[in-house]
């Protein structure tokens, strides 16, 4: 076995790789055949094959070739790279979990026509970069805080709507407290990003609701903004 030599074609077939991949590994110095024939053809030794399978094992973990090359001769580097890769995979898993929950919530809350309408509406108001930022923000906050914030919105809107319809002055302490809670929930969502804040405001102001509540939205937003202005003028 130790006397066996593999041509590039034979090794590619045995390893389930392409000849082009082996040539690339050779060119970047990752897996270089130890021998050549008189005609210059590559010949891989058993040691080369073991190295190739180690590279494949590390590649299967999602490591880039540059990191793999650094780990082949340094066990300390290997541990550091694997720890970094683990952190990356955990973050990616969390991001995918967030996306999964977003898709699930859309499917649970709407039929196909309504789902498509919701997705088109979101894309209309947010840029791709803002949607990516919001996904990261959601992962940063965590699902528990997101769920708590989402649960806080309906009763908050209901109470402020009641005050607005009853004509409660915006300087009323209860209205001021509710308006402050509204501001806190918004800030938790957009993290102080003014572009996302403006996009969110346009989305809420211009979106429609099947229950007819949309007609009251402009008046409610104006009421909340006047409450904020009253707070600013007295602070």
pLDDT digits (tens, 9 = 90+) for 109-150: 554 454 455 555 566 777 878 878 777 777 777 778 877 887
Task: Give the 3-state secondary structure of residue 36.
Answer: strand
Give, in order, the Cα–Cα distances in Å from 119 to each of 99, 124, 140, 152: 13, 9, 23, 23
Task: Give the 3-state secondary structure of residue 187.
Answer: helix
CB 65 within 8 A of CB 28: yes
Over the chain (235 residues), what is each successive 10-residue block's mean pLDDT?
84 92 94 93 94 90 87 78 81 71 63 50 73 78 79 88 92 93 82 75 58 60 87 67
Query: What pLDDT score was predicted for residue 115?
Result: 47
d(CA 25, CA 42): 12
Query: What pLDDT score was predicted for residue 8?
Result: 94
Query: What pLDDT score was predicted for residue 67?
Result: 87
Q: What is the pLDDT of residues 72-89, one digit of tens each?
A: 877 777 788 888 888 877
Neighbours of 207 (CB within 10 A): 13
Under CATH, which architecture does the 8-71 domain have?
Orthogonal Bundle (1.10)
CB 226 within 8 A of CB 170: yes
Question: Where is 42: in which H helix or E strand?
Answer: strand 42-43
Query: What pLDDT score was predicted for residue 168?
Result: 94
Query: What pLDDT score was predicted for residue 144?
Result: 81
Query: What pLDDT score was predicted for residue 108?
Result: 63
Instruction: Kindly list the domain boundaries of the chain, sorted by start residue.
Output: 8-71, 144-234
Give, in order, the Cα–Cα distances in Å from 203 to each of 28, 210, 213: 51, 15, 15
Query: What pLDDT score was predicted for residue 149?
Result: 81
């Amino acid at each position: 076995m130790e006397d066996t030599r593999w041509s590039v074609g034979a090794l590619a077939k045995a390893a389930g790789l392409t000849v082009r991949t082996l040539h690339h590994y050779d060119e970047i110095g990752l897996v270089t055949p130890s021998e050549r024939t008189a005609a210059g053809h590559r010949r891989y030794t058993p040691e080369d094959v073991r190295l190739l399978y180690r590279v494949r094992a590390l590649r299967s973990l999602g490591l880039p070739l540059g990191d793999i090359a650094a780990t082949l001769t340094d066990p300390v580097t290997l541990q550091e790279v694997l720890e970094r890769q683990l952190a990356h995979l955990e973050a990616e898993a969390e991001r995918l979990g967030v996306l999964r929950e977003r898709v699930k919530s859309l499917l649970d809350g709407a039929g196909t026509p309504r789902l498509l309408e919701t997705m088109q509406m979101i894309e209309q108001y947010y840029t791709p970069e803002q949607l990516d930022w919001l996904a990261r923000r959601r992962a940063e906050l965590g699902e528990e805080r997101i769920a708590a914030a989402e649960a806080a919105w309906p009763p908050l809107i209901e109470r402020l709507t009641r005050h607005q319809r009853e004509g409660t002055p915006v300087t009323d302490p209860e209205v001021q407290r509710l308006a402050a809670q509204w501001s806190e929930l918004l800030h938790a969502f957009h993290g102080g990003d003014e572009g996302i804040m403006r996009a969110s405001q346009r989305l809420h102001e211009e979106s429609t609701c099947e229950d007819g509540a949309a007609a009251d939205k402009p008046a409610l937003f104006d009421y909340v903004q006047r409450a904020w202005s009253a707070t600013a003028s007295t602070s």
